[in-house]
Chains A and B, each alone.
Chain A
Amino acid sequence: MEGVARYIPMKRTWMIAGIVAITFLFGGEIAHALTVGEVAGEFICQCGCGLTLANCAHGECGPRDQMTTAIASMIAAGKTKPEIIAAFVAQYGERVLAAPTKRGFNLVAWVTPFATLIAGAGLLVLLAWSWAVRRRVVQPTAEGVWDLLSPEERKRLEEELRRLQD
């Protein structure tokens, strides 16, 4: 084994180790049969409760029973999850889906939160960087003083500051 390992470059070794680790960590999913509960989580119950079909807890709920029965028969007929979803959308419209589709205008709902966060983070980094640059230009001595301190002095100063802040 040692001989083989010698011929694998370090970068590749890390890559293989990574793949093995990922396979080990996340590769344990076993294929299983589709259940009603699994599909029901994709839909909103049409009784008006606003909960998913899987979670509608009305004591007696006609729409829930009707929809779950339909899912059960579609699963029995061998339909896949996407096929069942398509059939329900055709019957009830898009509002039956518990989440917006990831297409067209609905992408606004999916993308905007992350785009805003990324833009915000970018802005923060940019601001911090520009301020830091400006400080270096305007107050070279302030930075210089810090740089002049020995590690022990810096440590002592930080501890003092921390103690005073408390």
Chain B
Amino acid sequence: MNELGNTALLIAFSVSLYGVAAPLVGARTGREELVQSGENAVVANFFLLSLATAALLYALLTRDFRNTYVASYTSRDLSFWYTVSALWAGQAGSLLFWTWLLSAFATISVRINREWLSDLMPYAMAVMMATSAFFLFLLSFASSPFELLPFRPADGQGLNPLLQNPGMFFHPPTLYLGYVGFTVPYAFAIAALVTGHLDERWIRATRRWTLFAWFFLTLGILFGMQWAYVELGWGGFWAWDPVENASLMPWLTGTAFLHSVMIQEKRGMLKVWNMVLIILTFALSIFGTFLTRSGVLSSVHSFALSSLGPLFFAFIAIVLLFSFWLLVMRLDALKSPHELDSLISRESSFLFNNLILVGAAFSVFLGTIFPLVSEAVRGVKISVGPPYFNQVNVPIGLALLLIMGLCPLLAWRKASLENLAKNFLGPGLFALAGGAVLALLGLRQPVALLAFTLGLFVTATILQEFHRGAKVRARQGRESYPLAVVRLILRNRRRYGGYIVHLGVILLFMGMAGSAFSVEKEAILKPGQTMQIKQYTLRYEGLSQYPTRSALVNAARLTVYNSGKPVGMLLPQKNVHRGHEGQPMTEVAIRSTWKEDLYVILAGFSEDGAASFKVIINPLMMWMWVGGVLLAIGTIIAFWPDRREGRRPGARYVVE
């Protein structure tokens, strides 16, 4: 099987090189058969990569420990599903998974768009195949998942205990779907630049791909936050780790792109800017993989280090130089016939939204690489951690929240005073009143108070939009109000799906603002002793020790009382995994309510039965996860195909 996998990769590498050359030559010389041959190469690439992936899965599941990758990431006692997840646990496997996803996306996009985008297709194929060729080069010559050991070990080293969490099934695959997904819009953007066919077709063709990539990148980030929260055992969800930042940066530029393409679709503006954004988003997606894999910056993801850094760096440099060179060549053709009519308009508010999102991406980028910059310029090693990122990004985040409220309700072209009053007076007053009430209730932390007030403002603007639309429908169609709301959403999926996404983002922001009020307490308890934190009393009942298939579990039993009433038992654990005895793993116990999370960490224990605990109360954490769900629902609604979409005339002409 290893030989089969290796051979499949080598052939796939050759096929992908052919997949770059054939469509390019075919398009240049007008030989249609070569373009079609390139399309076949894309499909063949997918089948070969599927074969290689299946071969690696087979090696993992059959515990073929002669395979270096299998021996490094699995062991005999590893459960079936964690063995499957080992496919993306290590570098070579995750690169293979990345490339396999890309081959699948390339195949689908070729099948969907070959007819109506036949002029762009050869070049888009070439870009996707070139990206595939780069990754296949790494897999074939630098980091093969089919490398063999000179002997067959009796057992493997097993999966890092940190990775043995349900998050392993969701976080890496969704993140990769996001990273890889951005390759498709990038490929079509480059195709548009090469051909000079710079109309809105490439954007229409890739709108769903962009949304798809953004959706999965968002899910990947959220799953990562949840994983960090329950697994790393420090009570937080985001540590501003370089690898976390690496996923946030393309998310920020991708979000900016999702918004700014609307301007190009509606008004034919921002063509250059949209190109810049998709180039940056793609480059940052590769940068994320580079940061994860290079080890150039120290990270909690340090299980993923390797020497592939220079190769990734070279690839990113080529991508940026080539893309921006093309862009400069086409600047004249990208000039928009339209300009901003007014500073108070939806177009300009989208521009400000873009400015803030890209500014946030830049600040995260600067903070992430600043240790390297400092060392290069001053020769002094420094660290850039949460205090920096929080201080810099909180004001930017608040500005983003404000613009999120303003943006969708401003009129296109030029908002009149009447428009402003009609849309913002009610929500503004509501937010101010809400903010005052919160202050009276004792919320005094300025940033949190501002965040909640802005959150109320944005929520009110969105709900007002739903209400107005539903009211008109209910009146005209004689529908009941709830039915009118549902039909309103279904008939304007993109718009109201977007609003639901915004509601989800507000909940996320509120959850983050709530973390400003975290309370923390540490205590060493003997069985029978209690500790108090706010209204909670925790009584330590004792420690249970028992072995599982792969670890020795040490679980503390804590009875929890809320204002004197027993509400349940929490079992924080400290587990020692076989083969990782020097690295005991914390399994936190969490009691979640809408109001707050009671988060208990078993910090340590001693022979006499005493145990030390770190207990944290994290307000509004559930809001974040619910916000994530809402965000997913909204994106699915916006993504869902609308039969009437094809029949609609270009909306752009309506506002011209």
Chain A positions within 8 Å of B, measured between CB atoms, are: 24-29, 37, 41-42, 44, 48-52, 54-60, 93-100, 105-106, 108-110, 112-114, 116-117, 120-121, 124-125, 127-129, 131-132, 134-135, 146, 151, 154-155, 158, 161-162, 164-166
Contacts and interface: CB of A to CB of B under 8 A. Distances in A.
A127 B270 CA distance: 13
Nearest to A21: B439
A161 B413 CA distance: 11
B418 A165 contact: no
Interface string B639-656: 000000000000100110
Interface in B347-389: 348, 351-352, 355-356, 358-359, 362-363, 366-367, 370-371, 373-374, 377-378, 380-388
Given A26-B444, A124-B351, A93 B380 contact: yes
A60 B340 contact: no
Given A52-B386, A127-B340, A128-B343, A165 B412 contact: yes
B529 interface: no
Contacts of B545: none
A128 B356 contact: no
Given A100-B370, A128-B343, A117 B234 contact: no
B583 interface: yes
A157 to B, nearest CB: 10
A108 to B, nearest CB: 8
Given A52-B385, A100-B370, A151 B418 contact: yes
Given A98-B387, A165-B655, A106 B382 contact: yes
A100 B382 contact: yes
Max chain B Cβ within 10 angstroms of own Cβ: one of A50, A134, A158 = A50
B374 A106 contact: yes
Contacts of B583: 58-60
A50 B239 contact: yes
B340 A131 contact: yes
B339 interface: yes
A134 to B, nearest CB: 7
Interface stretch (B183-191, B294-302, B532-540): B294-302
Nearest to B392: A113
B352 to A, nearest CB: 7
B12 to A, nearest CB: 36
Nearest 10 pairs between A and B by C-beta? A59-B584, A113-B363, A98-B385, A55-B234, A99-B388, A99-B387, A131-B339, A57-B233, A117-B359, A164-B654
A80 B520 CA distance: 21
11 contacts: A25-B446, A52-B239, A55-B235, A93-B380, A113-B396, A121-B352, A131-B341, A146-B414, A161-B655, A165-B651, A166-B495
Nearest to B651: A165
B510 to A, nearest CB: 19
A98 B386 contact: yes
A93 B381 contact: yes
B443 to A, nearest CB: 9
B519 to A, nearest CB: 11
B232 interface: yes
Max chain A Cβ within 10 angstroms of own Cβ: one of B351, B373, B386 = B386
Contacts of A131: 339-341
B339 A117 contact: no
Contacts of A116: 359, 362
A124 B355 contact: yes
A146 to B, nearest CB: 8
B374 A132 contact: no
A57 B234 contact: yes
Given A154-B418, A161-B654, A50 B241 contact: yes
Contact of B419 (A28, A54, A158): A158
B416 interface: yes
Nearest to A120: B355
Contacts of A128: 340, 342-343, 348
A56 B239 CA distance: 10
B385 A105 contact: no
B593 interface: no
Contact of B242 (A26, A50, A121): A50
Contacts of B582: 60
B362 A113 contact: yes
B299 A132 contact: no
Contacts of A121: 352, 355
Interface of B: 232-236, 239, 241-242, 266, 298-300, 302, 339-343, 348, 351-352, 355-356, 358-359, 362-363, 366-367, 370-371, 373-374, 377-378, 380-388, 391-392, 395-396, 411-412, 414, 416, 418-419, 439, 442, 444, 446, 449, 492, 495, 520, 574, 582-586, 601, 651, 654-655
A132 B387 contact: no
Nearest to A110: B392
Contacts of A134: 339
Contact of B446 (A26, A42, A52, A161): A26
A127 to B, nearest CB: 7
Nearest to A41: B387
Nearest to A162: B411
A151 B584 CA distance: 71
A20 to B, nearest CB: 13
Contacts of B358: 120
Nearest to A151: B418
Contacts of B362: 113, 116
A128 B341 CA distance: 7
Nearest to B235: A55
B351 A109 contact: no
B586 A57 contact: yes
Contact of B385 (A24, A99, A162): A99
Contacts of B585: 59
Contacts of A55: 234-236, 239, 386
A147 to B, nearest CB: 11
Given A99-B385, A100-B370, A94 B380 contact: yes
A100 B586 contact: no
A50 B363 CA distance: 19
Nearest to B413: A161
Given A57-B234, A128-B340, A132-B341, A94 B651 contact: no
Contacts of B341: 131-132, 135
Nearest to B344: A128
Given A50-B298, A97-B383, A108-B373, 15 more contacts: A25-B446, A51-B241, A55-B234, A55-B386, A56-B234, A60-B583, A94-B381, A95-B371, A99-B383, A109-B370, A114-B392, A120-B359, A124-B348, A131-B339, A134-B339
Nearest to B232: A57
Nearest to A100: B382
A125 B383 CA distance: 36
B234 A95 contact: no
B388 A98 contact: yes
Given A117-B356, A128-B340, A151-B418, A60 B396 contact: no
B76 to A, nearest CB: 24
Nearest to B575: A59
A49 B584 CA distance: 15
A27 B366 CA distance: 34
Contacts of A57: 232-234, 586, 601
Contacts of B266: 165
A124 B302 CA distance: 41
